[in-house]
């Protein structure tokens, strides 16, 4: 079976600066892949290319067996290739529950149009209730988005993305600024919601990455330095030199 996501030979320059050089990487159904590397390595740029926010200079992206290079971000999301929800698409004056309902109804509209709007909405609303229950947020989603605490906002971002029923979810530093316990909780929400969702996780917290990822890809200066199991990556001399040098064994 072909991988869920296949990235082949991606290159991207900004003017004379080469941000991505010949990146090839595959993500399998259901796996959690950590994407690590120093600031400026090209991790977010790669996410932007994969999700369709940036057009690469070279290379190709396939998702679920089909090319997606010509599709805009929203069409890729409709196929299940989703990144943490864009803040611009959230309504701060509405509650988390209302925001989630809009995202879920929009998603249901793609897949279940033939069943009629009422069925779509009922299913979408049930999904929202399940997401809110799984999240363990103390006020159950009734709070205005703008009034959520920092940690709750990170969870809200994640729930908004999960409402789109991703097959592959790209998370760009979802745990930045969270305590270890909050970060662990956030990742547990994803797995509890659907253990089959594949994840690509950009994070700087080495304990989180090495503790939760099946494989790890290391980027450095726009190149993919190494991809492998956490043990193999941790032991790799080039990775240590570029990024993990200060890690104890």
Q: How near is the Cβ of 53 to ligand ADP at its closest, in Å?
A: 10
Which residue, 55 or 113, has its beta carbon nearer to ligand ADP?
A: 55
Q: How near is the Cβ of 212 to ligand ADP at its closest, in Å?
A: 19
Which residue, 49 or 164, has its beta carbon nearer to ligand ADP?
A: 49
Q: Binding to ligand ADP (CB under 6 A): which residues in 8-67?
A: 14, 19, 37, 39-45
Which residue, 144 or 223, has its beta carbon nearer to ligand ADP?
A: 223
**N-to-C CA span, the chain:** 36
The Cα–Cα gap between 108 and 125 comes to: 10
Q: How near is the Cβ of 39 to ligand ADP at its closest, in Å?
A: 4
Q: How near is the Cβ of 83 to ligand ADP at its closest, in Å?
A: 13
User: 3-state secondary structure string, the chain?
Assistant: CCCCEEEEEEEEEECCEEEEEEEEEEECCCCEEEEECCCCCCHHHHHHHHHCCCCCCEEEEEECCEECCCCCHHHHHHHCEEECCCHHHCCCCCEHHHHHHHHHHHHHHHHCHHHCHHHHHHHHHHHHHHHHHHHCCCCCCCCEHHHCCHHHHHHHHHHHHHCCCCCEEEEECCCCCCCHHHHHHHHHHHHHHCCCCEEEEECCCHHHHHHHCCEEEEEECCEEEEEECHHHHHHCHHHHHHHHCCCCC
Q: How near is the Cβ of 219 to ligand ADP at its closest, in Å?
A: 6
Which residue, 53 or 210, has its beta carbon nearer to ligand ADP?
A: 53
Q: How near is the Cβ of 94 to ligand ADP at its closest, in Å?
A: 30
Number of residues binding to ligand ADP, judged by CB under 6 A: 10
Which residue, 13 or 106, has its beta carbon nearer to ligand ADP?
A: 13
* Sites of contact with ligand ADP (CB under 6 A): 14, 19, 37, 39-45
């Amino acid at each position: 079976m072909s991988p869920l996501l296949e990235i082949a030979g991606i290159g991207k320059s900004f003017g004379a600066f080469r941000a991505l050089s010949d990146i090839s990487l595959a993500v399998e159904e259901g796996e959690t892949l950590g994407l690590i590397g120093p600031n400026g390595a090209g991790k977010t740029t790669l996410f932007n290319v994969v999700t369709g926010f940036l057009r690469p200079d070279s290379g190709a992206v396939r998702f679920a067996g089909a090319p997606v290079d010509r599709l805009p971000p929203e069409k890729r999301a409709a196929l299940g290739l989703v990144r943490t929800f864009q803040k611009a698409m959230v309504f701060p004056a509405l509650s988390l529950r209302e925001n989630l309902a809009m995202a879920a109804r929009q998603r249901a509209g793609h897949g279940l149009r033939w069943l009629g709007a009422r069925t779509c909405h009922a299913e979408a609303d049930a999904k929202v209730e399940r997401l809110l229950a799984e999240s363990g947020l103390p006020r159950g989603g009734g709070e205005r988005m703008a009034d959520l605490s920092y940690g709750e906002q990170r969870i809200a971002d994640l729930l908004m993305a999960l409402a789109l029923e991703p097959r592959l979810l790209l998370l760009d530093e979802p745990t930045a600024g969270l305590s270890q316990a909050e970060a662990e909780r956030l990742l547990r929400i994803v797995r509890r919601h659907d253990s089959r969702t594949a994840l690509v996780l950009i994070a700087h917290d080495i304990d989180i990455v090495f503790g939760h990822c099946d494989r790890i890809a290391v980027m450095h200066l726009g190149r993919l330095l190494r991809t492998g199991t956490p043990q193999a990556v941790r032991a790799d001399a080039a990775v240590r030199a570029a990024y993990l040098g200060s890690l104890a064994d």
